[in-house]
Structure 1
Amino acid sequence: MDMRPEPFEPPAPVPRTVPPSRLEIIRTVMRNPLELWGEPSYTLPWIHTKFFKERTLIVNDPGLIRHVLVDNAANYEMSEIRQLILRPILRDGLLTAEGDVWKRSRKAMAPVFTPRHAKGFAGQMLRQSELYAEKYAGCGPEGKVFDISVDMTELAFAILADTLFSGEIASQSEKFSDDVDQLLHRMGRVDPMDLLRAPSWVPRLTRIGGTKVLAKFRDIVFRTMEMRKDRMATDRANTPNDFLTLLLDLDGPDGLTLDEIEDNILTFIGAGHETTARALAWTLYCVANAPHVQAAMEEEIDRVLASRAEPVEWLELMPNVRASFEEALRLYPPAPSINRAAIMDDSWTSPSGEVVRIDAGVTVLIMPWTLHRHALYWEKPRAFMPERFLPENRGKINRFQFLPFGAGPRICIGATFALQEAVIALAVLMHRYRFEMTPETDPWPVQKLTTQPLNGLALRVRARSSSSSA
């Protein structure tokens, strides 16, 4: 007999049963696009529809996803609306660059993001996690309540600042992370002009306050690069071998321009800390609601840390920790949509013989948000069940039904880095503390630049007993 409790179902919008009006679409996209999707998006393999006269194909079938993102990826470019939102911020960073610029940048940066380099940053990830854990040192067994959403953003930024800049940032403000937060949340929003496909020169009223922040932010990044270039020229032997140094070494005719390096630093700061931070917070929230999962993670963490294993080995040695993080990525994918547009007419034939035609100009929406909760591909799709991702079960998951890092040529270049960072951070925090629900804990997922908890995520942090965390 299975004695496990019923799995926890974390909060999420209920699929619509009635299509929204045009005005409702605008209001919902402005407020929270996650509330837009109807029952067919969670039950059908693909849907042909229209948004504002724009033909759209919503794709959930793993085979069709593979066709668009991998097998015929050359026929699909970034969708216009996505570029209208992100390109003013990131310019020619990896997330927004296209064509030859993207190919050259990806090729130049691939060696920087090899698993070998990612593993080389495990020590810094551990150090910053341990330093941040001191924030909770006074909690005691009775505990204190913290907004874990804010805390994980601070922790992820501390790790990023150490691994990217070695902490050497040309900012007069100690709260550089606040500048990042302002930038992402003022500039990364959908504006009604985006929905109407207005040219980029048409002002976006929702982002007017963000242009000054963006200028300030780019100035900080530029001055940080100049400081590091001077140090590399005068004292290379003692220059940190972090991501900034590795990127500046790519400056040249066969690598990147300095403008492209700047664009990619902004991209790594945005994509490299915001996404991981959101996933960490959702993980701690889900685990707080699943005591049997929490117990298995704590036992595993305590055992591995007692063995004195190096942090670079934790990702492989802590399958329960990794599985819980990946299940949180499934339920709350930091990047909830992948947008493409067909360049030329295309078609795909399903194993059962159905033909899906994709005309030139059609927008293709691949949404991890609906895909990860899809009734055709997941048992109890709305439930938190980390056992799905344990080594003995991973083979049941199609490569193209779980897309937290995307897929194909544009797969997230920092995936290994993010997974390692998450396991190390969770292990350090959960070794010393237990994260629990409070009466005020009532998060609601909203899609801004990432999948975020509306009004934060309050959890009580208690010190674990010395015997359990020894």
Structure 2
Amino acid sequence: MDATPAPFVPPAPKPRTSPPSTLEMMRIVYRNPLELWGEPSYNQPWISVSGFGGPLVVANDPGLIRHILVDNVKNYRMSTVRQKVLRPILRDGLLTAEGDTWKRSRKAMAPVFTPRHIFGFAQPMLKRTQDFADRYVSGTTVDLARDMTTLTYDILAETLFSGEIAAPPGTFEAQIDRLFETMGRVDPLDLLRAPDWLPRITRIRGRKTMAYFRGIVADTIALREEHLAKDPGSAPQDFLTLLLRAEGPDGLTRGEVEDNIITFIGAGHETTARALGWTIYCLAESPWEREKIEEEIASVLARESDPVKWLDAMPLTRAAFEEAMRLYPPAPSINREPVEEDRYGDLVLRKGATVLVMPWTVHRHRKLWDKPDAFMPSRFHPGRRDAIDRYQYLPFGAGPRICIGASFAMQEAVIALAVLLSRFRFDTVAETRPWPVQKLTTQPEGGLPMKVTARV
């Protein structure tokens, strides 16, 4: 019997062996924050330092993470730097809102993301993925990163907006890339906590793109309001209608409605798109893992046509997706700030400190994972998944602010993988040299060029 091949170790920055200078750190944070972290970040339970931006704590210990995100969550708000990056894009959307504004938005959206509603999305997810797969021509090379953005946007538009997003066809992918390239970066002035009246180059460069997305939102709302006015009974009872009906004196303001729409149009699909791309890339570099998943998918599709049941019926496929999210967490940084001084054991978390819960470092931590840099879906296989501490694996966050769309994303991912991998095999080519870069999400710099071959 052949020995099992050594697991694939996908590309990632090597931990730094010495701290950067202040100027170098600002350059790294602007270019790619994933390259900032040194050996202690991957070996210590936490790091507490004082930098030019004030006190900084990097939390890796699962108990400390639980303390921050769950047990003492009321003492933590979004960090100032994070808000300076995201609020110009999302304003009072669900990802950036706090206090009563966040509670109103979460309550308004909750009905859409119940299990019953999510199961109802399975067939539209399947149809959109099948239609998307029909575009592929065997033997061609595609940029899978760009394609997964298109696919997940199509699914989002169909499920949450009933296909009624007023976006010109063929323009969305380039605009979303532009948005993350400009406004998705940390501006050096934000690190210095400079006053807001000082102009940020990143914001200036992104104004045109931001106007594009705000225009989509205004046109989308106008289309739906016209539909509701003409025939309220025939209007789709989807995410968009729910938000509009939540508007009022005791509900959401018009600004909050718009901000939540742009949050989901601009970012709601992005995390799943990146995770799907990284999953297919890692499987292409691990053909022995891909073969197991192809067999599982073929077996399930032969006996089960209902996509609602695929998530539970395809544990190996799900495990590959979860492992890709471990290595390339869609949201690589969760940023908090203590409202009042806090303690955890002998660690003091000072008022106003920047507290980073970094899925990027937690997911690759030497004390928490065996072979942490390797692609090993088996760690998420049945019988092993339960051994992973809840707070050492955070692809969707944790606590009250856990991603509201986590179940939506998991169902979407397994359906997409089942369709794509049953019909095609994706292989790397000479130009496939992705490098993980943090621009809000963990993106493959250089894209994911891959050859598409029909499976017979």
Letter of the 1:238 counterpart: S
Distance 1:220 1:437, change over 3 A: closer
- Is 1:348 aligned to residue 344 of structure 2? yes
Alpha-carbon distance in 2 for matches of 1:453, 1:54: 31
Task: Give the 5 Å matches for 1:10-409.
Answer: 10-136=10-136, 138-139=137-138, 143-172=139-168, 174-349=170-345, 355-409=346-400
Q: Secondary structure at the match of 1:208?
A: helix
Alpha-carbon distance in 2 for matches of 1:151, 1:190: 26
| Structure 1 residue 174: Cα displacement | 4.4
- Is 1:427 aligned to residue 418 of structure 2? yes
Alpha-carbon distance in 1 for matches of 2:246, 2:404: 16
Distance 1:197 1:389, change over 3 A: same
1:112–1:247 contact (8 Å) kept in structure 2: no
Distance 1:440 1:212, change over 3 A: closer
Q: Secondary structure at the match of 2:451?
A: strand
Distance 1:26 1:203, change over 3 A: same
Alpha-carbon distance in 1 for matches of 2:419, 2:437: 28
**Match of residue 448 from structure 1:** 439
Letter of the 1:322 counterpart: R
Alpha-carbon distance in 2 for matches of 1:172, 1:43: 48
Letter of the 1:267 counterpart: T
1:336–1:369 contact (8 Å) kept in structure 2: yes
| Structure 1 residue 367: Cα displacement | 0.3
1:94–1:105 contact (8 Å) kept in structure 2: yes
Stretch deviating more after TM superposition (186-195 or 31-40): 186-195
Alpha-carbon distance in 1 for matches of 2:278, 2:170: 27
Alpha-carbon distance in 2 for matches of 1:269, 1:403: 23
Stretch deviating more after TM superposition (40-49 or 438-447): 438-447
| Structure 1 residue 308: Cα displacement | 3.2
**Match of residue 415 from structure 1:** 406
Stretch deviating more after TM superposition (5-14 or 306-315): 306-315
| Structure 1 residue 271: Cα displacement | 2.6
Stretch deviating more after TM superposition (279-288 or 187-196): 187-196
1:17–1:38 contact (8 Å) kept in structure 2: yes
Alpha-carbon distance in 2 for matches of 1:311, 1:72: 39
Deviations 1:309-349 (A, max 9, x none): 30111111111111000000000001110110111111113
| Structure 1 residue 53: Cα displacement | 4.6
Stretch deviating more after TM superposition (186-195 or 151-160): 186-195
2:180–2:439 contact (8 Å) kept in structure 1: no
Deviations 1:416-457 (A, max 9, x none): 001111110111000000111212211111111211111111
1:184–1:270 contact (8 Å) kept in structure 2: no
How many positions carry a matched residue from both structures? 456
| Structure 1 residue 120: Cα displacement | 1.1
Deviations 1:346-401 (A, max 9, x none): 1113xxxxx22212112111100000000010000000000111121111100000
Alpha-carbon distance in 2 for matches of 1:459, 1:135: 15
Distance 1:135 1:173, change over 3 A: closer
1:272–1:418 contact (8 Å) kept in structure 2: no
Deviations 1:31-68 (A, max 9, x none): 11101000000000011112315111110000000000
**Match of residue 352 from structure 1:** none
Q: If the length of structure 2 is used for normalisation, what is the TM-score?
A: 0.97
Q: Secondary structure at the match of 2:348?
A: strand
| Structure 1 residue 175: Cα displacement | 2.3
**Match of residue 460 from structure 1:** 451
2:335–2:356 contact (8 Å) kept in structure 1: yes
Alpha-carbon distance in 2 for matches of 1:253, 1:15: 51
Q: If the length of structure 1 is used for normalisation, what is the TM-score?
A: 0.94
Q: Provide the aligned C-alpha RMSD in A.
A: 1.5
1:95–1:267 contact (8 Å) kept in structure 2: yes
**Match of residue 430 from structure 2:** 439
Residue ranges of structure 1 left out of the alignment (5+ in a row)? 350-354, 466-470
Residue ranges of structure 2 left out of the alignment (5+ in a row)? none
Letter of the 2:435 counterpart: W
Q: Secondary structure at the match of 2:176?
A: helix
